[in-house]
Amino acid sequence: MRVALFATCIGDTMFPDAAKATALLLTRLGHDVVFPPGQTCCGQMHVNTGYQPGALPLVANYADTFGDTSIDAVVAPSGSCVGSVRHQHEVVAERYGTASLCGQVQTVKAKTYELSEFLVDVLDVTDVGAYFPHRVTYHPTCHSLRMLRVGDKPLQLLRNVRDIDLVELPEADSCCGFGGTFAIKNAETSTAMLADKIRHVADTGAEFCSAGDSSCLMHIGGGMSRLQMGAKTIHLAEILASVESRVHA
C-alpha cells in the first residue's frame, strides 16, 4: 500500500522520533511510505481555541497535500490530530470553505487513520514483530478513546511485543489534563489533573509511560521531568518499531 505519513506539526518539530518510528514500522511491514512535504498542521489548535476561520487555510492545505489519489491511506501517530481531521475539518470546510473543499475533505478524511487503527483494522496485524524488554504502562489518551474509539487496539499491539512487561495504568481513561490551550488557560486545574495521572504512573513502577499522542506525552513527560521521576515517556510507535537489533535505550 502507498501510505502517506502525516507527521503532525508538533511531531515534525518537537517529537520527530514518533514520526520516524511510524515511517520505519510501516516500511518494515512492507508498505511504500511517502512523506508529502506540503503538510503542516491539522488545525486542531485553532478550532479548539475558538479560531475556526483561522483553521481554514490549514484544513485546505491538509486536503490539498493528502488529496493525491496515488495515496491509499494517510497515517498519523496522533489520536487527536486524526480526531480533528475526522470531526472538525468538515465543520470548518462547510462554514468557511468552498463546495469543492467540502468534497475534498470528505475524501481525505475517509482515508486518514490513527496508527493503531491502521495496523489493526486496515492491515489486520496485531503482532508487528517488535521487541521491547521493559516495564511499560499505557495511557489511552482522550481523543483516541472517545473521538476515534480505538478501544483496546493499542493494547492488542502492545501485548504482542516480545519481552515487554505491560502493566495496567490505574484510572487509565481519565484525562491527563493537557487539552491544548487548556493547559495554559487553566494551568492550575490542568496541573491538578496531571498530578493524579503521574501518581498513577508512578504506582505502576513502569520505566515507560506510553501513549499514542505526542502532545499528551509532552504534558505527562513535562510533569515527570519537573518531578525528576525516573520513568520516561515514549510514543506507542517507538515501542512498535523497536526490534532486537535496535533496542531502544
Partner 1 sequence: MSAVTLGLPSFPPRSPEGAGFLRGTEKFPVAAHHELANAQLRRNIGKATHTIRAKRLHVTGELPDWEELRDAGSAIKTDVMARLPELLEKFEAAVIARGGHVHWAADANEANAIVTELVKATGSDEVIKVKSMATQEIGLNEHLETQGILAYETDLAELIVQLGHDKPSHILVPAIHRNRSEIREIFLREMPDVDPNLGDNPADLAGAARKFLRHKFMTTPVAISGANFGIADTGTLTVVESEGNGRMCLTLPKTLITVMGIEKILPTYQDLEVFLQLLPRSSTGERMNPYTSMWTGVTPGDGPQEFHLVLLDNGRTAALADKIGREALNCIRCSACLNVCPVYERTGGHAYGSTYPGPIGAVLTPQLAGMHGKDDPNSTLPFASSLCGACFDACPVKIDIPSLLVELRHQKVEQAGVTAESVAMKAASFAMSTSTRWTAAQKAAGLGRIVAGKKGKISTLPPPLNGWTAARDIPAPPKQTFRSWWDSDEGRAALDEARREGKAGK
Contacts of partner 1 in 59-118 (CB under 8 A): 60-61, 65, 87-88
Contact flag: residue 28 with partner 1 (CB under 8 A): yes
Of 50-58, 99-107, 118-126, 200-208, the window that binds partner 1 (rule: CB under 8 A) is 50-58
**Position 40, amino acid:** T
**Position 172, amino acid:** A
Contact flag: residue 164 with partner 1 (CB under 8 A): no
User: What are 143's three cell numbers?
Assistant: 481523543
Of 98-106, 131-139, 141-149, 150-158, the window that binds partner 1 (rule: CB under 8 A) is 141-149
Measured distance CA(238)–CA(236) in Å, rounded: 5
Contact flag: residue 38 with partner 1 (CB under 8 A): yes
Query: Of 156, 186, 207, 229, which lies in the binding site for partner 1, with binding defined by CB under 8 A?
Result: 186
Contact flag: residue 143 with partner 1 (CB under 8 A): yes
Q: Are 158 and 166 in contact (CB under 8 A)?
A: yes
Contact flag: residue 160 with partner 1 (CB under 8 A): no
Measured distance CA(8)–CA(5) in Å, rounded: 9
User: What are 42's three cell numbers?
Assistant: 491539522
| Cβ-based nearer residue to partner 1, 28 or 135 | 28
Measured distance CA(223)–CA(146) in Å, rounded: 24
Query: Of 39, 104, 112, 242, which lies in the binding site for partner 1, with binding defined by CB under 8 A?
Result: 39
Of 53-61, 119-127, 131-139, 205-213, the window that binds partner 1 (rule: CB under 8 A) is 53-61
Half-sphere exposure of 78 (CA within 13 A, CB side): 30
Q: How far is the CB of 210 from partner 1 (least distance, A)?
A: 16
Of 68-76, 103-111, 152-160, 222-230, the window that binds partner 1 (rule: CB under 8 A) is 222-230
Give the bridge partners for 138, in sequence order: 210
CA distances from 36 to 4, 169, 175 (A): 7, 36, 32
| Cβ-based nearer residue to partner 1, 141 or 165 | 141
The region, left, alpha or beta by phi > 0 then psi within -120 to 50, assigned to residue 62 is alpha
Query: Of 97, 140, 154, 179, which lies in the binding site for partner 1, with binding defined by CB under 8 A?
Result: 179
